[in-house]
Amino acid sequence: MIENAAKYSQLIKSEAKRLGFLSCGISKAAFLEEEAPRLEKWLKNNMNGEMGYMENHFDKRLDPTVLVPGSKSVISLLLNYYPTQIQNNDSYKISKYAYGTDYHFIIKDKLKELMHFISEEIGEVNGRAFVDSAPVLDKAWAAKSGLGWIGKHSNLLTKQSGSFYFIAELIVDLDLEYDNPVTDHCGTCTACIDACPTNAIVADRVVDGSKCISYFTIELKNEIPISEKGKFQDWMFGCDICQDVCPWNRFSKPHNEPLFNPHPELLSMTKKDWEEITEDVFREIFKKSAVKRTKYTGLTRNIQFLKD
């Protein structure tokens, strides 16, 4: 079995690479002991803000064998989204991950292919694919699988390519060879903590979600509190500040996924263009984008908040 586990793991990693994933790591499906008290404390301190769904399925969030009965392994995958070009300086900004087609669709297709490959090459394997749409602590699993370490901004970091990538998982009922976590390389650096304009990084690896610019511009459905006026540094959807200042992101290389390329107009639009955006233009530019999540009304609310 051990021999097969190593062989199967290698097969899966090779196929993941062929499908365009940046890297693939595997860990044993089991209860996340270290994460349990952290998550409990985070929720107790209301750091999820209005994201009530974070309180649901506590047991499933911490134990993949509850989420996917019979599961034995968690296969973690990273997919690069660092763009070749970014928006011009005279523009309200959106997070780089939302430039192109909504990543959920792109990654789900790749995961389906990988699952199909596993069934073809190994035999009947049951499991489920996840792309941040279910109660899975993806960063914790990626770190456990040796794909990187959790940085002080609570994002996964790698020495080779920083942090501009998506994390996804296959949770399967197959015994595989497991990877070991890597060491932390943040050292004494506090660049991300110092740069956060809303002081959302309240402690090492602890982000108060209810203070984050991404939360205010995407998750919050009510009006943005007036106390946050002047702090957003022109971010109208999401925020990349803590990643942009991270020294490890000097090593980010552009992705090679054409579907992540932005609508041509997105990069050239100025603040004035954004302030005058119509619903039709919004629909055209963000036809298949994750920005649709905030809707036209949400984006114009954010722009108004930045403009006033």
The per-residue pLDDT for range 177-190, each reduced to its tens digit, is 999 999 999 999 99
* CATH tag, 2-172: 3.40.109
Concerning whether 234 is annotated as a catalytic residue, the answer is no
Instruction: Kindly list the domain boundaries of the chain, sorted by start residue.
Output: 2-172, 191-241+263-307
Contacts of 85 (CB under 8 A, 6+ apart): 262, 267
Contact assessment for residue 253 and residue 82, using Cβ atoms and an 8 Å cutoff: yes
**pLDDT at residue number 57:** 81
Could you read off the pLDDT of 292-302 as tens digits, one per residue?
999 999 999 99
Contact assessment for residue 41 and residue 202, using Cβ atoms and an 8 Å cutoff: no
Closest CA to 176 of 140, 213, 216, 127: 127
Contact assessment for residue 129 and residue 170, using Cβ atoms and an 8 Å cutoff: yes
The catalytically annotated residue of 132, 173, 184, 234 is 132
Q: How would residue 2 be classed by pLDDT, with cut points 50, 70 and 90?
A: low
Output b/e per residue, 88-107; b: 16+ Cβ within 10 A: eeebbbbbbbbbbbbbeebb
- Please give the model's pTM, rounded to 2 decimal places: 0.94
Q: Among 27-31, 58-62, 235-239, 299-303, which is the least confidently predicted range?
A: 58-62
